[in-house]
């Protein structure tokens, strides 16, 4: 039996020796009574541990600053009847809720307790979550959900479904107002899966976390397909295939540590500037290392994350969706102390082309950064959009338009750095001047054009090449002419589409100066209900 948590509850009777004896006696009785009510089910806790999972309170201890947790609604319990549920009415109703701090900054939290009704959500459980969500919205604080739940509490029927609806509605109301983080540490079945889906960031732990709308039994009953919980909706599935999980971890400890790291990168709400630290002199930083990261040959692969490491303070950044749509990299980092969101093409994966999933991933990241005032730095090295029937039939036009839309509507400071090549529609989409970047920087080795020289020459000189006595010689001549006239950054710079052609070693300082220059950018948007982003 454990009484963990009860001693930390603020506002409980504090037994002081100077109180009158009768008062002390009463307070002691009540306090003991309260302790008895809050004990955990030892067998369920043992089972939780045997599954490699911590209890809800242990997780909150890892997540929050020591001693900072203030719990509310500890004594709440369900008022349901029927199906023998009224015989068992444990306190908390399977969710521990309240507020605490992370690095001294206030957050609101709720942690579902699988040891009580499998963490399932009934009316009282939902009402507690609604309460902390409302407080988070009212006080402009991030909300963090630790999910470990069998979904809607079956015995409570439609009241459980109503409870979920209340969570979803609040999540949408809070979207773009406060950061919402879901941490899936066990099952998150049925309705419980939509809440992480509506969050800004979703963490999952390998082996213990699963998310699906219908479990393996239903899948088998409906389609005959046999599948395990993990194969259906484990962390690897959502971290690499579906893109539902933004971060995947091997254990709860490193997962909750990374939640703290993410929070350290985010403002508490959309009216607060993102966290900024003391500038580290990046504006004068010359780094010869940049030039050796990017090969001059346009098709030679390299790792964009190495370039990001060179760009940010202390070489530290937090990559989001590291395992999904890896042909684009999205990450938070700091440049001269200030948090930025970075979007970079990844030449190491599918040559860095944009496709459906890369567009979705980058678009959602750009929209998050824009909603929370985080400046955007786009690192461009893109051969174009992925051609082919698979992409076209699956709607690459519609999905690519999401990224276009996201950049076009972003009003935060935006800097584009073209490090090697930028072709066609992908050049436009990757935060070109035409869609509103504030500052476009390019390395001198750069290629910007409608298409590569080979393709371009074949299209515009098709007749001449067909009629030529020596087509290869003519092609070589035309290729050289095309490259010399069009495929270099000065063509764009002469026309104001590139603001500066920079020495690669000055990339960090140029971006830091750009960010300083744009820090107070304000661009009001026209009054409207909301735009109609292509979904």
Task: Write out the residues near ligand HXC by the rule CB under 6 A.
Answer: 117-118, 120, 150-155, 161, 164, 187, 189-191, 194, 215
For residues 154 and 371, which CB has a smaller minimum distance to ligand HXC in the complex? 154
| Cβ pair 290, 307 in contact under 8 A | yes
For residues 208 and 432, which CB has a smaller minimum distance to ligand HXC in the complex? 208
Task: Enumerate the active-site residues.
Answer: 190-191, 425-426
DSSP track, 479-494: HHHHHHHHSSHHHHHH
Structure tokens at 79: 């008022």
For residues 193 and 415, which CB has a smaller minimum distance to ligand HXC in the complex? 193
- C-alpha span between 181 and 197 (Å, rounded): 10
**Residue 77 Cβ, how far from ligand HXC at the closest point, in Å?**
15
Residue whose token pair is 């935006």: 414
Residue whose token pair is 């002691």: 28
- C-alpha span between 151 and 153 (Å, rounded): 6
- C-alpha span between 421 and 350 (Å, rounded): 15
Which phi and psi (to 5°) does residue 344 adopt?
-135, 140
DSSP reduced 3-state for 158: helix
Structure tokens at 236: 């690897």
**Residue 437 Cβ, how far from ligand HXC at the closest point, in Å?**
39
Structure tokens at 183: 């941490």
**Residue 82 Cβ, how far from ligand HXC at the closest point, in Å?**
13
Which phi and psi (to 5°) does residue 399 adopt?
-75, -40
**Residue 132 Cβ, how far from ligand HXC at the closest point, in Å?**
20
For residues 210 and 416, which CB has a smaller minimum distance to ligand HXC in the complex? 210
**Residue 49 Cβ, how far from ligand HXC at the closest point, in Å?**
13
**Residue 4 Cβ, how far from ligand HXC at the closest point, in Å?**
20
- C-alpha span between 380 and 378 (Å, rounded): 6
For residues 79 and 299, which CB has a smaller minimum distance to ligand HXC in the complex? 79
DSSP reduced 3-state for 88: coil
| Cβ pair 64, 5 in contact under 8 A | no
DSSP structure class, residue 276: B
For residues 194 and 491, which CB has a smaller minimum distance to ligand HXC in the complex? 194
For 404, what's the count of Cα atoms within 13 Å in the CB-facing half-sphere?
18
| Rg, C-alpha atoms of the chain | 27
Query: What is the dihedral sign for C-alpha 495, 507, 425, 471?
Result: positive
| Cβ pair 175, 136 in contact under 8 A | no
**Residue 233 Cβ, how far from ligand HXC at the closest point, in Å?**
10
Residue whose token pair is 């300083």: 516
Terminal CA-to-CA distance of the chain, rounded, Å? 50
- C-alpha span between 477 and 485 (Å, rounded): 12
**Residue 424 Cβ, how far from ligand HXC at the closest point, in Å?**
41
Residue whose token pair is 């959500």: 121
For residues 80 and 403, which CB has a smaller minimum distance to ligand HXC in the complex? 80
């Amino acid at each position: 039996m454990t009484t963990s948590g009860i001693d930390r509850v603020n506002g409980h009777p504090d037994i002081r020796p100077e109180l009158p004896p009768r008062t002390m006696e009463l307070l002691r009785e009540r306090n003991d009574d309260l302790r008895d009510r809050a004990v955990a089910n030892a067998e369920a806790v043992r089972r939780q541990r045997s599954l490699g999972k911590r209890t809800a309170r242990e997780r909150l201890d890892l997540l929050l600053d020591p001693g900072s947790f203030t719990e509310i609604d500890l004594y709440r319990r369900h008022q349901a009847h029927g199906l023998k549920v009224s015989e068992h009415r444990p306190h908390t109703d399977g969710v521990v809720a309240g507020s605490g701090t992370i690095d001294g900054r206030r957050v609101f939290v709720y942690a579902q307790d699988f040891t009580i009704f499998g963490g399932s959500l009934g009316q009282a459980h939902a009402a507690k979550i609604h309460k902390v969500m409302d407080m988070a919205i009212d006080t402009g604080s991030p909300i963090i959900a630790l999910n470990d739940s069998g979904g809607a509490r079956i015995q409570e029927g439609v009241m459980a479904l109503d409870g979920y609806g209340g969570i979803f509605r609040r999540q949408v109301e809070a979207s773009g107002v406060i950061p919402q983080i879901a941490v899936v540490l066990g099952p998150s079945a049925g309705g419980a899966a939509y809440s992480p889906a509506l969050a800004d960031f979703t963490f999952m732990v390998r082996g213990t976390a699963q998310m699906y709308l219908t479990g393996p039994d239903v899948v088998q009953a409906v389609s005959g397909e046999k599948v395990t919980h993990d194969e259906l909706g484990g962390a690897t599935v959502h971290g690499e295939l579906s893109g539902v999980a933004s971060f995947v971890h091997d254990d709860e400890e490193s997962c909750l540590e990374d939640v703290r790291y993410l929070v350290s990168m985010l403002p508490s709400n959309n009216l607060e500037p993102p966290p900024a630290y003391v500038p580290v002199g990046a504006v004068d930083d010359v780094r010869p290392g940049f030039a050796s990261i990017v090969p001059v040959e346009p098709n030679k692969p390299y790792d964009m994350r190495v370039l990001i490491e060179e760009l940010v303070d202390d070489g530290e950044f937090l990559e989001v969706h590291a395992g999904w749509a890896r042909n684009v990299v999205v990450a938070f980092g700091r440049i001269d102390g200030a948090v930025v969101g970075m979007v970079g093409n990844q030449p190491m994966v599918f040559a860095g082309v944009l496709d459906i999933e890369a567009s979705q991933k980058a678009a959602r990241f750009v929209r998050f950064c824009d909603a929370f005032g985080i400046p955007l730095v786009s690192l461009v090295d893109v051969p174009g959009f992925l051609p082919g029937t698979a992409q076209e039939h699956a709607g690459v036009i519609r999905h690519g338009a999401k990224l276009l839309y996201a950049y076009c509507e972003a009003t935060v400071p935006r800097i584009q750095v073209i490090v090697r090549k930028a072709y066609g529609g992908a050049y436009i989409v990757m935060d070109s001047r035409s869609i509103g970047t504030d500052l476009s920087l390019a390395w001198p080795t750069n290629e910007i054009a409608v298409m590569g020289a080979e393709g371009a020459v074949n299209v515009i000189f098709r007749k001449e090449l067909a009629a030529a006595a020596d087509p290869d010689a003519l092609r070589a001549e035309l290729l050289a002419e095309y490259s010399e006239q069009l495929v270099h950054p000065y063509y764009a710079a002469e026309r104001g589409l590139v603001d500066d052609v920079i020495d690669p070693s000055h990339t960090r300082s140029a971006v830091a100066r750009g960010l300083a220059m744009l820090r107070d950018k304000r661009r009001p948007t026209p009054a409207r209900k909301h735009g109609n982003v292509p979904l």
